[in-house]
Amino acid sequence: MGNGEDFEIVFVSSDKNESSFQDYFGEMPWLALPFADRDAKAQLSKKFKVSGIPALIILDEAGELINKEGRSVVMRDPSEWKPPTLWEALSGDLIAKSEIGKATVDEVRAQSDVIALYFSAHWCPPCRGFTPELSATYEKVVAAGKRLSVVFCSSDRSESQFKEYFDEMPGGWYGIDGDDKRKEQLSTLFEVQGIPSLVVIDAKTGETINGDARGFVGSDPDGASFPWRPPAVADLSSPDGINETPSLCIMAEGCTAEQREAMMAWFTPIAKEAISKEEEAMVFFMANTSEGATPQVRKLTKLGDAKPEPQLLLLDIPDNGGYYTCGAAEITEATVADFLNAFKAGTLERKQLDK
């Protein structure tokens, strides 16, 4: 770690047996979580959303997260343990399509209410298809008087590709070259897993309005719902976040439109209250149609065909594919509240998703 700081490393093993753990731990100079404590290992993996190994999670003395990407820090610059803030990662000059050719992030913030970070690349076919859509929506949003700035965060492999691609983008956009370390810092900050990706932030506060706004451009090409804040209860046909976060789902695709509307009236406040508490993260869905991910969820959880009455389940995919079903005869506001409380208390029967 350098700089004389005191720190400890704790090995959390994913070995398949005690013998392998002991052999591997024998090569290490640090501490380890006992191999037999598989529950603690699973809880740590879930808490820090560890989806692959090796992973190095850096915490402070109070156990608060400093950096989830410790492995890349060690490989890149061990002195930079604490990741930059958003504005630190965006500091310095941005490439501008103007005679001046550059602008500072402070200048961009001053002229904007919303900044969209667009992660994309010339060599990526889905990106080449999405960029014209985003450009058209941007023009409509700006024409409607909305103060939006877009920063293209390039993953291009050469300066010539970057320039060629950037030239195809609207005149009001800004750019960060793929060789600029700020692009990697921003990708890490917003956990960008693939491209194209669109992150929408508040230009004044730096609040993330939507960390995955790409789908909104397709569903709202005119920008009527801009800046695309995610609904408290999303449609299960497009289940963003379901693989990373426990997800409460009302399966209502067999219900009437009137039933779904009535349920949304009380389900939405429940979701908003849970989200506002910022305790353990959770996302909320309602299955309105048999499209998208809905049939797969039914298959994996053995729920069977859609019924005229709603069904309630909680998916905990980060917990190695766990899920929970509600056996109540009627799904009501009280049923959902009780089900959520039982999940938090750990009193529900855990089931395993089919593979």
Question: Hey, where are the domains in the chain?
Answer: 10-76, 86-219, 233-352
Within a 10 A sphere around the Cβ of 247, how many other Cβ atoms? 23
- Whether the per-residue pLDDT at 124 is higher than 50: the answer is yes
| pLDDT 10s digits, 8-42 | 899 999 999 999 999 999 999 999 999 999 888 88
- Whether the per-residue pLDDT at 3 is higher than 70: the answer is no
Mean pLDDT across the chain, nearest whole number?
A: 90
pLDDT category at 274 given cuts 50, 70, 90 is confident
- Written as one letter, the residue type at 100 is I
| pLDDT 10s digits, 279-311 | 568 999 999 999 989 999 999 999 999 999 999
Homologous superfamily (CATH) for 233-352: Glutaredoxin (3.40.30.10)
| pLDDT 10s digits, 164-207 | 999 999 999 999 987 788 998 899 889 898 999 999 999 999 99
pLDDT > 90 in the chain, percent: 68
Homologous superfamily (CATH) for 86-219: Glutaredoxin (3.40.30.10)
From the options 3.10.20.600, 1.10.630.10, 3.40.30.10, 3.40.50.300, give the CATH code of 10-76.
Answer: 3.40.30.10
DSSP reduced 3-state for 72 = helix
* List of E strands, the chain: 10-11, 31-32, 58-59, 65-67, 93-96, 102-104, 114-120, 148-154, 174-176, 197-202, 208-210, 233-235, 247-251, 283-287, 311-316, 322-325, 351-352
- Whether the per-residue pLDDT at 78 is higher than 80: the answer is no
Quote the pLDDT of residue 1: 45
First to last CA, the chain: 41
Quote the pLDDT of residue 106: 94
Quote the pLDDT of residue 240: 81
Quote the pLDDT of residue 48: 83
Nearest-Å Rg of the Cα atoms of the chain is 23
**Tokens 């960390």 map to which residue?**
211
Q: Between vectors from CA 353 to CA 347 and to CA 355, what angle results, nearest 5°?
A: 160
Confirm whether 10-76 and 86-219 share one CATH topology.
yes
pLDDT category at 239 given cuts 50, 70, 90 is confident
Quote the pLDDT of residue 278: 58
pLDDT category at 277 given cuts 50, 70, 90 is confident
- Whether the per-residue pLDDT at 144 is higher than 60: the answer is yes
- Whether the per-residue pLDDT at 51 is higher than 80: the answer is no
